[in-house]
Structure 1
Amino acid sequence: MNSDYLIESSNSTKPMSIRQTWVRWVALALACLIMIGSYMCYDFPQTLQDQLQQPPNNYSDTQVNLLYSVYSFPNIILPLIGGYLIDFIGIRKGVFAFTFILIVGQGLCMISEIDSVQSYALLVIGRIVFGLGGENLCVTQSTIVSQWFSGKELSFALGLNLSISRLGSVMGQFMFPPLYNINQQIFVPLLVGTIFCAFSWGCGVGLNLMDKYADKQEGKQEVKLSEDDKIKLSDIKKLGFDYWLICTSCVLNYICFFPFMQVLQKYLINQFGLNSDNAPNFMSIPYFMSAGLTPFIGLLVDKIGKRGYILICASCIMVVAHFTMLVVPQSDTASTTPGYVSYYFIIPFILFGIFYSLYAAVLWPCVPLVCEPKIVGTAFGITNCIQNGGLAIAPLITAAIISNTSKDNGYFYDQIFFICVGLVCIVINIMIFIVDRRKGGRLNKGFRQLNEEMAEEQEYDDIQRLDRNSRKKSITAKRSFAF
């Protein structure tokens, strides 16, 4: 406790807000846990892919991948109206509602796997409902966290939020297969996933109560989304060519990563000799690396800049990772010993972890650097719409490739598809670098340098505004005199 705090607290009759005390770290912990259930259950089709394709389900590759597509389909539209929806119901009510929607969606998925039900249609409906809550929950969570932290602490808080959330995926990959083995029923891991969603809902209720008490202390009304955070279609015409390049880079790079991860379990089982029990443990390597590295890479990039270079480097690493998956020895070529497991896939997995950590840390901060401040909300929303559109279509494409080709059980041409898209990503990122360089190279500057430039621009604008006001007064005076 410093002297400033003592002076302020002794001279003021108004109690200090809990947002300025250690309680804010409790709020951050609750905010981090809000997304655990969402991330954990989002990836269950990937984690339990082999089990879903066994009796009594016998789902095809297309049916399994469709579970990801139907999650993304609602999120093509939701970002367009999400800001107004959240503003209408309020941030705190939004946290309550969206976490509850996750419970309902995951609960429907769980019920669909009861022996007496066994309904793929109900499973799809559950995933759609689940998708309705996930996108908006991220917005409400970030908005509340921003009220509890400011300055340099905000970057750390949001980075920690993202890291802890991704650990939810890792938890699911470690927990779901052993839970399935209890009685060979998918119902059991889905039940546990529903319980974790309920736990996240409870954390949301706790955070809401703390946030409401803090607002009461400070004499404020509940915070609402600012107009800048909402999507205005009229602002689309203000988005420049560099923004659309970044948007294209986002959807193509994520197409090369997430749909690949969604078919990874069968890939490891069929090509590298793993089984459905241990394959998910290795699948968590990229996510685990990202959870640990992304916040620190983000802080480093904020200091040194070089975003254009890192975007190109990240996509090159991703292409090398996919190519390495093709050429490393696999279980059927590395040895004639029955049951032989080839662990060479760990090399490209580490590369995927590096790619995901670099790209996630660099891409999203690029958006506000190429857009006017007043249209940043629109820019982020449009990017999310297009990203979800790509993530809705790509799983169906990869499933079709695997189902209709035979070389390496269909995974050879699946990797060729990802490599080709990845090469396009490299070209797009090079174009981003060239366009940005011609416009002054903002993407490659650290935030200290950017802030200095913004201060100079603001000072220049103030001088220009004063000059304009002086001229207006002069003209008004002349007109008055002439009249």
Structure 2
Amino acid sequence: MSREERLPIVDTASSSGEDEAKPVVRRRSTRDTELALPKEQGCCAPTSKPHRFLALLFMCLLGFGSYFCYDNPGALQDVFQKELDLNATEFTLIYSIYSWPNIVLCFVGGFLVDRVFGIRLGTIIYMLIVLLGQLIFAAGGLFGHFWLMIVGRFVFGIGAESLAVAQNSYAVLWFKGKELNMVFGLQLSVARFGSTVNFWVMQPLYNYVSGFYAGYTGLGVTLFLAGLTCVMSLLCTLILGWMDKRAERILKRNTNPGGDIAKLSDIMSFRLDFWMVSVVCVAYYVAIFPFVALGQAFFVSTFHLTPEQANTVNSIVYLISAIASPLFGFIIDRVGRNVSWVFVATVATIVAHLLLTFTQMNPYIGMSIMGLSYSMLAASLWPMVSLIVPEYQLGTAYGFCQSVQNLGLAVVTIVAGVIVDSSGGSHFWLQLFFILFLMISLLATCVIWTYDRKHQGNLNMSPAQRATYHTSMYVNIESS
């Protein structure tokens, strides 16, 4: 592979201001064969906007089922603890067991997409594992076997996180240099809409089912019905695979013209800014997902809400992110400055946790701030990986980020349950625990900014500056 082919993917969109006056020379390579596609093929051409955004629709929906089912326990926390006789620590095991296998397997899953399965087959395999895991989980509820439910969540986790890696790789493959931040925002939007719908419908659905099936049997039937969303996502995965195969044939796509092969050892060559992005992935998200997982009990005990009201408040983070994520992605596509957006998002999340912990202010305010900041971070953080590592290593890089994130979630979720149990059900110390991790995320963001500035990187540039930066790098390589 030539040295210029090793450059990370950059967004070459233009922006307003002085940057527009700078000439931008777009590098042409085998990777860009889609640019030569005849325009007369119209909306059926893989490079046309309608076709790409149709692919994006299926790209987003393939993650809907896994996110809907992921938070099934959070929406029915009181039911799980009552029907299965669980304390807070045992309940959090349902979430932590999801993360444990992905400490290693998610990294391996990304590598398998790069090296073995390919993106299409890999996505289908991971979606089938998600569906199998949800069915085992539901069967455990149906028969009242908690150990079987844990096995189901273990299997579910193996597929779901690797599926997210494949989904990210699909996004970069179809939208590299074109609306990538917005695409990541839209993917998060649909995924989190799945979580929001889960919090809306699972309690009413269980109430309806329990009229026919008593006790844990009703819980199991409810979880089986929730698994239908995974069947829908599997259909979307198959359709997207067909569309991608067609696009590859028409475009004669070659994402690795130099023939470099992804290796697990590649991770050792990644720069400090990538490692700090990984730290943010851990430190930020452990203050969101475990908080939501235990959120129903928090809002019931702290703000004296009913379980249904607590679920509504708890879903605000995901509801707002479903709306705001693509909007923030659209804005970031235009203005760039990804590191600055990550910094602002982390500070805003700290403010949200402080409001929920130290004031009796309406919890909708704190959760709304958290939802907006969460959307802002997701739309700005994940695309940075594609600005740091070469395309042939993207699956490995995203897999590693997901792996370390799951390590954090697995450990922190268990610790969170222990903190609540040892505090007699109080969430005060748990909130301070979350705020500490957000401070770590803020520090890592500052390191990213400092490193990028010192090495004259492109992570905090505008899109036009990135295009000029990439062109200058290419010219320097050609002249060397």
- TM-score of Structure 1 vs Structure 2, range by shorter chain: 0.7 to 0.9
| Superimposed CA distance per residue, residues 317-358 of structure 1 (whole angstroms, 9 cap, x where no aligned partner) | 2222111112222xxxxxxxxxxxxx7111110121122012
Q: What residue is the counterpart of 1:293 in the other structure? A: 324
Distance 1:300 1:106, change over 3 A: same
- Of 400, 410, 427, 2:443 maps to 427
Structure 1 position 24, deviation (Å) = 4.7
Cα contact 1:308–1:429 (8 A) shared by 2? yes
Q: What residue is the counterpart of 1:308 in the other structure? A: 339
Structure 1 position 300, deviation (Å) = 2.2
| Superimposed CA distance per residue, residues 219-277 of structure 1 (whole angstroms, 9 cap, x where no aligned partner) | 869x8899999863433332333332232222111111111111001111122122222
Name the TM-score, length of structure 2 as normaliser.
0.82
Q: Which moved more, 1:103-112 or 1:233-242?
A: 233-242
Residue pairs, 1:52-201, within 5 angstroms: 52-54=80-82, 56-86=83-113, 87-114=115-142, 117-144=143-170, 151-152=177-178, 156-184=182-210, 185-201=218-234
Distance 1:160 1:359, change over 3 A: closer
Distance 1:208 1:427, change over 3 A: closer
Distance 1:353 1:228, change over 3 A: farther
Cα contact 2:179–2:333 (8 A) shared by 1? no
Provide the C-alpha distance between the structure 1 equivalents of 2:284 and 2:197, rounded to a whole number of angstroms: 25
Q: What residue is the counterpart of 2:367 in the other structure? A: 349
Query: Does residue 328 in structure 1 map to residue 359 in structure 2?
Result: yes
Structure 1 position 65, deviation (Å) = 0.9
Distance 1:153 1:411, change over 3 A: closer
Provide the C-alpha distance between the structure 1 equivalents of 2:381 and 2:182, rounded to a whole number of angstroms: 17
Distance 1:191 1:315, change over 3 A: same
Cα contact 1:167–1:287 (8 A) shared by 2? yes
Cα contact 1:38–1:102 (8 A) shared by 2? yes
| Superimposed CA distance per residue, residues 348-394 of structure 1 (whole angstroms, 9 cap, x where no aligned partner) | 10121122012112222333444566655543332222111101110
Cα contact 2:165–2:402 (8 A) shared by 1? no
Q: Which amino acid aligns with 1:60?
A: N
| Superimposed CA distance per residue, residues 272-294 of structure 1 (whole angstroms, 9 cap, x where no aligned partner) | 12222232122111111112222
Greater gyration radius: 1
Structure 1: 5+ residue stretches without partners: 330-342, 465-483
Cα contact 2:278–2:404 (8 A) shared by 1? yes
Provide the C-alpha distance between the structure 2 equivalents of 1:7 and 1:301, rounded to a whole number of angstroms: 28
Among the aligned pairs, what percent are the same residue?
A: 32
Cα contact 2:256–2:392 (8 A) shared by 1? no
Cα contact 2:88–2:421 (8 A) shared by 1? yes
Structure 1 position 63, deviation (Å) = 1.4
Q: What residue is the counterpart of 1:248 in the other structure? A: 279
Structure 1 position 153, deviation (Å) = 5.2
Cα contact 1:105–1:126 (8 A) shared by 2? yes
| Superimposed CA distance per residue, residues 31-78 of structure 1 (whole angstroms, 9 cap, x where no aligned partner) | 322211111001112111111111x31111111111111111121112
* Secondary structure of residue in 1 paired with 2:421: helix
Structure 1 position 98, deviation (Å) = 2.2
Provide the C-alpha distance between the structure 1 equivalents of 2:109 and 2:271, rounded to a whole number of angstroms: 24
Provide the C-alpha distance between the structure 2 equivalents of 1:132 and 1:448, rounded to a whole number of angstroms: 39
Provide the C-alpha distance between the structure 1 equivalents of 2:181 and 2:57, rounded to a whole number of angstroms: 15
Structure 2: 5+ residue stretches without partners: 1-35, 211-217
